[in-house]
Structure 1
Amino acid sequence: MADRLAGKIAIITGGGRGIGAGITQRFAAEGAKVAIVQRNAPTETMLNERVIYVKADLANSREIGSAVEAVVERFGGLDILVNNAGIMFEKTVDEMTEADWDQMMNINLKAPFLLTKAAMPHLRKRGGASIVNIGSIEGLASNPGHPAYSASKAGVHGFTAAVAVDHGHEGIRCNAIAPGWINSDLSEVYIDSMVDSARVRRELLAMHPVGRLGEPRDVGNLAVWLASDESAFVTGQISIMDGGRTKKLPLPTS
């Protein structure tokens, strides 16, 4: 077992599935104690003496504060906060209600603010603390039907920079990862729902210069580095992890 995060205590929101599970697994392998904070319990196989589950509805500010305090009480402190949990739906401005917009912002943008605010006193005590926010390449550009999602992720990117500027002098760094297409249960369902799913898979691969799609572990690897002391001079940065997708200019298909 490696130990780049030995002695570190981390909260990972939505750490029980998808990208979050990839981050949880990599953090635990690097020696961290991890609290998965989310609404639904993760699979029992993910939990052990180093990985615990703390239930919280991330749309509820009181539950967010209670969850952070519960982690600190259980593990004795907090060094790392990973704001990973998020939602996505496809609706244009015309299709979207005000309630739809508010739901997206509450989970994707307000919850990271509330978690950061609740965690800040504890991160300040430890020194050498790190906040890792999960943004998206859609904070830089957009897929069709994603005005609320793109706005929320662009907000995460801006929030990341501002926290880095305000709290760097306190030994607290803040960075974001902007993933592209990452394989998950949800992405598989999405592809399989297409009329010609085989063609969709081929076209997806062709969009990525590295010749494959991303895996949750890929994001976990970068999150480990950003959370560790190896990245001590890195803060306020948005690290794009998309297999080169956003650097490849599209050409007309024959």
Structure 2
Amino acid sequence: MTDRLAGKIAVITGGGRGIGAGITRRFAEEGASVAIVQRNAPPETMLSDRVIHVGADLSRSADIAAAIERVVHFFGGLDVLVNNAGLMFEKTVDDMSETDWDQMMDINLKAPFLLTKAAMPHLRSRGGGSIVNIGSIEGLASNPGHPAYSASKAGIHGFTAAVAVDHGHEGIRCNAIAPGWINSDLSEVYIESLADSSRVRRELLAMHPVGRLGEPSDVGNLALWLASEESAFVTGQVYVIDGGRTKKLPLPSA
């Protein structure tokens, strides 16, 4: 432990499970005070005097503004915002309703905007800070049935660049992480629901040059670096973390 975030105060949306939990654990290990902002309470084992849960429905702008104010009131400020919470479903344009599209954009794109807007004066008052947005490799390409998800994540990548350009002079940096396949309880349920889960696991491994799938801690380590002063000259970037998956050209099966 090096306490790279000692004295820093962070908000992590969806920080109680999956990738978000990996980020929360790394931040806490490195000395940050963390507010997990999400609707449902995280496991009690994640909470402590420096890791709290702030309940919020991220589809409601009033909840978002109130959550940021509660964090600032409780901890005394804000230095890091991690926009991690997201929604995904599989529907083609033909299958998708306007309501489906709006729901995806509300959680994946509008909520990060509102969170950033609410956080900005508090970051500014601390002399700057770091915003880390969780995008996706699907903001660069797409899996079948993901037009809304891919659009929302591409939007996050563009939003990241724009915030970096507008607020760099204030010492506020903004970067994005684009994860590939990351192990989680949800991905495990998905794999096990498939007819030939053993084959799927083998094929997933074969897609990754590093020979394994990602872990929440992998993303947590990168988010930690982006939140810390070690990345002080880094802003407006999208970091792909996918074990080389998107760099490996597929070959036809034998």
What TM-score comes out, normalization by structure 1 length?
A: 1.00
In the alignment, what sits opposite 1:152?
152
In the alignment, what sits opposite 1:76?
76
Paired with 2:119 and 2:221, the residues of 1 have a C-alpha distance of: 23
What TM-score comes out, normalization by structure 2 length?
A: 1.00
In the alignment, what sits opposite 1:230?
230
Paired with 2:252 and 2:193, the residues of 1 have a C-alpha distance of: 25
Which runs of structure 2 are paired with 1:80-99 in the superposition (5 Å)? 80-99=80-99
Tell me, yes or no, if the aligned pair for 1:128 and 1:229 is still in contact at 8 Å: no
Tell me, yes or no, if the aligned pair for 1:35 and 1:52 is still in contact at 8 Å: yes
In the alignment, what sits opposite 1:107?
107
Paired with 1:67 and 1:128, the residues of 2 have a C-alpha distance of: 20
Corresponding residue SS for 1:35? strand
How far off is 1:127 after superposition? 2.0
In the alignment, what sits opposite 1:245?
245
Corresponding residue SS for 2:63? helix
Letter of the 2:57 partner, please give it.
Answer: D
Paired with 2:167 and 2:68, the residues of 1 have a C-alpha distance of: 19
Corresponding residue SS for 1:200? helix
Corresponding residue SS for 2:77? coil
In the alignment, what sits opposite 1:51?
51
**Aligned sequence identity (%):** 83
Larger mean CA deviation between 3-12 and 125-134 belongs to 125-134
Query: Which portions of structure 1, spanning 4 or more consecutive aligned residues, are displaced by more than 6 angstroms?
Result: none
In structure 1, stretches of 5+ residues that fail to align are none
1:67 aligns with 2:67: yes
Paired with 2:201 and 2:43, the residues of 1 have a C-alpha distance of: 29
Q: What is the RMSD of the two structures over their aligned residues, measured on CA atoms?
A: 0.4
In the alignment, what sits opposite 1:32?
32
In the alignment, what sits opposite 2:132?
132
Between the two proteins, the alignment pairs up a number of residues equal to 254
In the alignment, what sits opposite 2:14?
14
In the alignment, what sits opposite 2:184?
184
C-alpha offsets along residues 161-206 of structure 1, whole Å, 9 cap, x if unaligned?
0000000000000000000000000100111111110000000000
Paired with 1:120 and 1:55, the residues of 2 have a C-alpha distance of: 20
C-alpha offsets along residues 25-50 of structure 1, whole Å, 9 cap, x if unaligned?
00000000000000000011100001
In structure 2, stretches of 5+ residues that fail to align are none
